[in-house]
């Protein structure tokens, strides 16, 4: 052999070993990096889940399940019912699976969005400290199931079709809410979720709370709640709102779930617009079906004439009335001596509603101006 070959031959094993070590180090770094990214993502999702700026539409199915688990733990739902956390998780999984993924709005993300908002609202206002554990659990379980098996259409449309849900309607309650409430009761029974020592009470309260999301019952609930609130001037009278057994307590749960159900305009503008897009996909799909059948659609469902920004301003005005009523209630609680509540916990929500309404109003004005300019141009061009 030549001298040069003798010099390099002994180095070959060292080179191979170095390559192996480098490959192992790269693989270890890749795995660690992936784990770090996953941990960061979990931390980010958890942090977001504690904020009014939450965006459920951006979550994967795995992240949705993780958020629901965390929310149930924060409200101590399983502890309130003295059941394993796995039973609550199984119920939540049932509710998610019963939300048709083909629905643009009334799908799994809607469930996560509402529950996150409700838990955050309770924590920010101090209601989580004064509501009975049973009331908190009932609200959470009702929120999870309030839209199960949703058809992605309105009650009026279901009635016009003679849908099967119409046949099982309860007196004074729309077909969709009647069906969802009945399914919720069945799921609670299947997972053996009860409040000891009264196994029927939880199902009754969850059913009544879901019934309250029927828009046709909105004014009745608001008027009744307002009257009961006006009459409650002592700390003892106010305390009735925090009990699961009292009519006032069930009214508060209905109002809270109603607030959560229409909370998407309280999100940051980009998220609120994304939810708008989902809502109007369902609205316009229903309107198209009504038109194709020769009917006249609800103005909000008519893609030919409806202005989403303009309609959004009107909707936010309606939503704000609900949150103003809740804040008035919290102020009265504070004045009556319930020191744990924080009316200011709703200030961020009310401010966001004002900001988003102003943005939608500006957009609506710009669209109207552009439309007027186009009409003038058409006139001048002789079209």
Binding-site entries for Zn(2+)? 110, 146-147, 261
Binding residues: 110, 146-147, 261
Distance CA 219, CA 202 (A): 25
CA-based nearest residue to 175, from 209, 151, 201, 141? 151
Residue 170 DSSP code: P
Alpha helices in the chain (DSSP H): 3-8, 12-48, 61-75, 77-81, 85-97, 108-125, 127-130, 133-145, 155-161, 164-167, 175-190, 199-211, 218-231, 235-239, 247-261, 269-292, 308-335, 347-381
**DSSP-assigned beta bridge partners for residue 198:** 195
Sole residue written with tokens 């996909």:
281
Q: Is 150 a catalytic residue?
A: no
Residue 196 DSSP code: T
Residues contacting 354, CB < 8 A, separation 6+ = 320
Distance CA 296, CA 290 (A): 6
Tell me which of 8, 106, 150, 301 is the catalytic residue.
106
| Residue 227: burial class (beta carbons within 10 Å; 0-12, 13-18, 19+) | exposed
Given a contact cutoff of 8 angstroms between Cβ atoms, the answer to whether 184 and 210 are in contact is yes
Sole residue written with tokens 């079709």:
161
Residue 268, classed as helix, strand or coil, is coil
Distance CA 129, CA 139 (A): 14
Distance CA 214, CA 301 (A): 18
Catalytic machinery residues: 106
């Amino acid at each position: 052999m030549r001298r040069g070959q003798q010099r390099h031959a002994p180095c070959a094993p060292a080179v191979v070993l170095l390559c192996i070590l480098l490959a192992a180090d790269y693989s270890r770094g890749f795995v660690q990096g992936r784990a770090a990214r996953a941990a960061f993502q979990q931390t980010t999702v958890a942090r977001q889940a504690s904020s009014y700026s939450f965006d459920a539409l951006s979550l994967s199915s795995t992240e949705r399940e993780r958020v629901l688990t965390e929310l149930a733990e924060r409200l101590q739902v399983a502890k309130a019912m003295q059941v394993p956390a796995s039973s609550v998780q199984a119920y939540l999984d049932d509710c998610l699976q019963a939300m048709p993924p083909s629905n643009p709005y009334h799908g799994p993300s809607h469930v996560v969005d509402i529950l996150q908002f409700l838990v955050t609202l309770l924590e920010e206002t101090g209601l989580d400290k004064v509501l009975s554990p049973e009331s908190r659990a009932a609200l959470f379980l009702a929120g999870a199931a309030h839209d199960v098996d949703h058809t992605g259409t309105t009650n009026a449309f279901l009635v016009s079709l003679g849908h099967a849900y119409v046949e099982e309607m309860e007196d004074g309650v729309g077909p969709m809410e009647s069906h969802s409430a009945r399914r919720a009761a069945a799921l609670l029974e299947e997972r053996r979720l009860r409040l000891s020592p009264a196994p029927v009470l939880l199902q009754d309260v969850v059913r009544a709370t879901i019934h309250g999301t029927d828009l046709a019952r909105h004014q009745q609930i608001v008027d009744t709640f307002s009257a009961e609130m006006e009459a409650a001037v002592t700390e003892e009278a106010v305390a009735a709102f925090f009990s699961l057994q009292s009519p006032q307590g069930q009214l508060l749960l209905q109002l809270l779930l109603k607030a959560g159900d229409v909370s998407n305009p309280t999100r940051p503008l980009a998220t609120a617009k994304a939810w708008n897009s989902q809502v109007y996909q369902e609205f316009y799909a229903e309107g198209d079906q009504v038109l194709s059948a020769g009917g006249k659609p609800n103005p909000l469902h008519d893609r030919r004439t409806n202005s989403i920004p303009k309609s959004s301003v009107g909707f936010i005005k309606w939503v704000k009335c609900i949150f103003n009523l809740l804040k008035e209630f919290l102020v009265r609680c504070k004045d009556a001596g319930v020191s744990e509540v924080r009316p200011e916990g709703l200030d961020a929500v009310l401010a966001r509603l004002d900001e988003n309404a102003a943005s939608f109003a500006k957009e609506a004005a710009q669209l109207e101006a552009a439309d007027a300019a186009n009409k003038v141009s058409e006139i001048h061009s002789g079209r």
